[in-house]
Amino acid sequence: MSINKRPEITNELIGFIRQTISDNPGMGRSKLSVMLCEAWDWRDSTGRTKDMSCRDLLAALDKSGRITLPPPMRTPRRRGDSKGVKHFIHDETPIAVKLRELQPLCVEVVTSKEAMGQFKSLIDQYHYLGFDRCISESMAYLVYTSGGKPLACLLFGSAAWACRDRDEFIGWGKEDRRSNLIMTTNNSRFLILPWVKVPHLASHILAVISKRISTDWEQKYGHSIYLLETFVETGRFKGTCYQAANWINVGRTTGRGRNGGHNYAIVPVKDIYLYPLTKGWRAMLTGNVKEQS
């Protein structure tokens, strides 16, 4: 069994995917992803095929024009419909004050069904990427004023499997990364609501979250985390709030996406920011107990 073994997307493999699609004209996307996972022996730690990750990879290749997927067998869900993310009406009264007038902020881990509904609604309506499913371990935060008005949403989830500049900065080889990736997390969504205009609010929220997230993670999943990462799309954002919160810009992605391994850009290029959560973070992530970071 090959645990977490992502296929390297070469021209030869693209040809294999195209041939598989051609040989199975009546097969839907879900079954196709399972078939490919079986062919590549792409499985998780329990031995189950990683068909959701495969589906994401195939969708990215289809979007880039490198393959042509069969049409969806089901009508895609629209944002806000009864089968997707339900949109709620929110108070959009402008909040334009100085940061000190809002402090202390109320920062809550999203745990209840009601809070998660609100979280999904805000992200889906106002974040440019919308809301996507949470895979594996994740942590969602809602930030409010002391009076209970929402200010911001943050989502942390699985770190990128492979990222050359990040891995080099940490000192990760493949085995270190395979063993210790679970002790990192990716800030995949950060939304300051569009009617909130408070200077320095974003960097302040990042600072507050960084002080508590490892404890929150341990309470929820039974282990600590030592490093935060995020990817900031170049040309769209400057990463100013991460810089102001002392996150470290360690390089830039190649545009290959989470699955990595192939030679053609299929997603936007992004700046890579990291934030260590403890003094001995590098030793914790590499197993080098003598290193003091």
Query: What tens digit of pLDDT does each residue of 125-180 get?
Result: 999 899 887 767 899 999 999 889 999 999 999 999 889 999 999 999 999 998 99
pLDDT at 5 over 80: no
pLDDT at 281: 96
Q: Given the structure tokens 């109320």, which residue do they identify?
A: 106
What is the residue extent of each domain of the chain? 1-76, 99-286
Residues 15-51 have pLDDT tens digits of: 999 999 988 888 888 889 888 988 888 877 667 788 7
CATH for 99-286, among 3.30.930.10, 3.40.630.30, 3.20.20.70, 3.40.50.12160?
Answer: 3.40.630.30
pLDDT value of residue 46: 66
Helix then strand count (H, E) for the chain reads 9, 7
Query: Over 60: is that where the pLDDT of 287 sits?
Result: yes
pLDDT value of residue 185:
96
Which 3 state secondary structure label does DSSP give 59? Answer: helix
Taking 80 as the threshold, does the pLDDT of residue 73 lie above it?
A: no
Given pLDDT bands bounded at 50, 70 and 90, which one contains residue 83?
Answer: very low
How far apart CA 5 and CA 8 sit, in angstroms, is 9
Mean per-residue pLDDT, 247-255: 91
CB 103 within 8 A of CB 96: no
